[in-house]
């Protein structure tokens, strides 16, 4: 009985550490979230339609390339919240580039070029960016802010995973153009004889 609880505790601990892990580095030395998704028997045209629908419904992403290209690029941002006890407030935003590449039966996407802009309270009590100059997330600050910067990079990794789940769910939708209801004929009461 004791051994079973120990195994469950170890599994929960390992799962907790896996979720709080930072993102890996790519060959340029930048943080990256990279994933290849296989959808057998789905043509690249359909995958592009699904991605176009996802981009058109998204408020934070704007497509920067032509939809005819096989490699799409977009720029977005995610807000990083700081939680103390039960209160949560935005501490900054992380901008990123999203790349999506399509092939027959599969697609790949990656988020990279993460950059951080911290927030401050303005005189009206709203949280606004402190500056317009973003700091690349790979740049490690001095010893004074090292712990806070690590928390920002772990929160970015968590938000990137959540975005990836939303994107993959959006790419699974089977009905791109749902059937529209036929128009109900209207009755013109002014010109009818009675």
CATH code, 25-171: 3.30.530.80
159's tokens: 């938000």
- In this model, does residue 6 exceed pLDDT 50? no
Residues 6+ apart with CB under 8 A from 80: 90, 91, 92, 93, 94, 116, 152, 155, 156, 159
Using CA atoms of 25, 27, 29, 32 in order, give the dihedral in degrees to the nearest 10. -40
What CA–CA distance (Å, rounded) separates 80 from 74?
20
> Which residues pair with residue 72 across a beta bridge?
100
Q: What is the mean pLDDT of residues 163-180?
A: 74
Each residue's pLDDT tens digit, 56-100: 888 878 778 776 777 888 888 888 887 777 777 888 999 999 999
144's tokens: 């004074």
Q: Is 192 exposed, middle or buried (0-12, 13-18, 19+ CB in 10 A)?
A: exposed
Q: What is the mean pLDDT of residues 120-126?
A: 89
Each residue's pLDDT tens digit, 126-166: 888 888 888 888 887 777 677 788 888 899 999 999 999 99
Rounded to two decimals, what is the model's pTM?
0.73
Domain positions in the chain are: 25-171
DSSP conformation letters of 152-175: HHHHHHHHHHHHHHHHHHHHT-S-
């Amino acid at each position: 009985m004791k051994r079973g609880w120990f195994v469950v505790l170890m599994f929960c601990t390992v799962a907790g550490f896996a979720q709080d892990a930072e993102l890996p580095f790519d060959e340029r030395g930048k943080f990256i979230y990279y994933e290849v998704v296989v959808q057998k028997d789905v043509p690249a045209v359909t995958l592009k339609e699904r991605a176009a629908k996802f981009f058109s419904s998204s408020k934070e992403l704007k497509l920067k390339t032509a939809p005819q290209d096989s490699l799409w690029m977009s720029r977005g941002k995610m807000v990083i919240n700081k939680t103390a006890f039960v209160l949560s407030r935005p501490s900054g935003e992380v901008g990123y580039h999203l790349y999506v590449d399509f092939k027959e039966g599969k697609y790949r996407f990656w988020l990279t070029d993460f950059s951080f802009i911290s927030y401050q309270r303005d005189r009206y009590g709203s949280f606004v960016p402190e500056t317009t100059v973003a700091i690349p997330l790979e740049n490690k600050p001095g010893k004074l802010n090292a712990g806070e910067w690590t928390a920002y990079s772990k929160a970015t990794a968590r938000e990137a995973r959540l975005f990836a789940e939303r994107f993959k769910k959006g790419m699974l939708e089977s009905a791109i153009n749902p059937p529209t209801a036929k128009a109900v004929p209207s009755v013109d009461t002014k010109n009818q004889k009675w």
